[in-house]
Amino acid sequence: MAELGAHLTAASAGDDRPSIFEAVAQDSLMAAVKPALQHLVKVLAESNPGRYSFLWRWFDEIYVVLDLLLQQHYLARFSASFSENFYSLKRIPIGDCKQQPLATAGLPKKQHWKSLLLLVLVPYLKGKLEKMVSSLREEDEYSIHPPSSSWKRFYRAFLAAYPFVNMTWEGWFLIQQLCYILGKAQHHSPMLRLAGVRLVRLTAEDIQALEEKLAGATSSHAHSIKTQVRLAVKKALGGIAFSLSTGLSVSVFFLQFLDWWYSSENQETIKSLTALPTPPPPVHLDDGANSALLPKLKTVCPLCRKIRVNATALSTSGFVFCYRCVYNYVKAHQRCPITGYATELQHLVKLYSPES
């Protein structure tokens, strides 16, 4: 039985396909990088809200632009994404050609742009959709919208259908991986099939061609001014992508360690090692024109100036508001109304009293 399992999950000596372990490992590499970078940006935003809060608010958009540059650089130079090249893999078009194109030849334009869009755009849209669903569930739970509105009926139907759509999506990937293990499919992921490519291992000829291309690029020079300007711009963009890719290559294992260190399974250990006393409330308040002032009565909401209803605290600052007031404010401004600390909707903590 063990020999059969090893035969199914490992590629044969003459097969250029990567094993399922290599394919899944390169998929999980970029999935582990984003949460680690997100936590790093979160720490920066909380340590200095005035300077770094914009990074937290626009993290998804900044990340997708950097990811676009990175994947474009690797697809153009190595015919592979960053994580695929990290595991010595490349993409080739689907076809019956007996001789594989070299990695330096690049992908055909159609496969190149489809690969780029599927590598960058699909994860971005999926993440935005998950955030929207989480936000809609909170609004539905606390009745942010009037119960008779047609919008509420629509998004309740959407929330009811989303788990089944997500299950179908994940099931599609699982079935594709099972078919790949059993040798019934050329792709372990439906995204590769949609892009019209498949993954193969780099050959000795590919590695030699990549080394020669790198050596030739450093020794070549342009003659005309127009060509020099074009190559300078191309070199600058390539330098940005190369710096990003080199930094990711060096820090990828450190980022994976950060992802493990701050995982929920490890939180109890962290708390026992880094236990500190409860800090005092913020004393340096932002009394600008757009900041709310603290009322004299502790039971009054600083935003609506009325007795609090559904008391909710912000974990970033500790101040308490009405749930509806602070929800709408944080959703619009992404900061605490009193202190100006960078704040997201997940930082809202509902408070319950024994009477309630």
pLDDT at 119 over 50: yes
Average pLDDT, stretch 228-234? Answer: 66
pLDDT, tens only, 156-210: 787 788 889 889 999 999 999 899 999 888 888 899 889 889 888 888 887 888 7
User: What pLDDT was estimated at residue 13?
Assistant: 46
Quick check: 268 and 45 in contact, CB under 8 A?
A: no
Query: What's the chain's Rg over C-alpha atoms?
Result: 26
User: What pLDDT was estimated at residue 142?
Assistant: 60
Q: Which domains does the chain have, with CATH numbers?
A: 20-143+150-208 (no CATH), 294-355 (3.30.40.10)
Average pLDDT, stretch 345-349? Answer: 88
Nearest to 84 by CA among 148, 131, 25: 25
Q: What angle do CA 87, 91, 95 make, to 5 degrees?
A: 145
Q: What is the largest CA-CA distance in the chain?
A: 82
pLDDT, tens only, 136-151: 777 666 655 555 566 6
Cα separation, 309 vs 319, whole angstroms: 14
Say which range, 3-17, 123-137, 325-339, has the weakest mean pLDDT.
3-17
pTM: 0.62
Structure tokens at 233: 């711009």
pLDDT at 221 over 50: no
pLDDT at 54 over 50: yes
pLDDT, tens only, 71-115: 898 888 888 888 888 888 888 888 755 667 777 778 888 999 999
Q: Where are the alpha helices (DSSP H) in the chain?
A: 2-9, 20-47, 49-57, 59-78, 82-86, 109-141, 150-181, 190-195, 204-219, 225-261, 267-273, 323-333
pLDDT at 279 over 60: no
Dihedral sign for Cα atoms in the order 256, 259, 261, 263: negative
Residue 117's pLDDT band (cuts 50, 70, 90): very high
Cα separation, 206 vs 209, whole angstroms: 5
Give the percent of the chain with pLDDT over 70: 68
Nearest to 331 by CA among 126, 146, 57: 57
Cα separation, 113 vs 242, whole angstroms: 20
Average pLDDT, stretch 220-247? Answer: 60
* Separation of CA 23 from chain center: 19
User: What pLDDT was estimated at residue 64?
Assistant: 92
pLDDT at 250 over 60: no
Structure tokens at 337: 């109304």
User: What pLDDT was estimated at residue 101?
Assistant: 79
Structure tokens at 346: 């997940």
User: What pLDDT was estimated at residue 312?
Assistant: 92
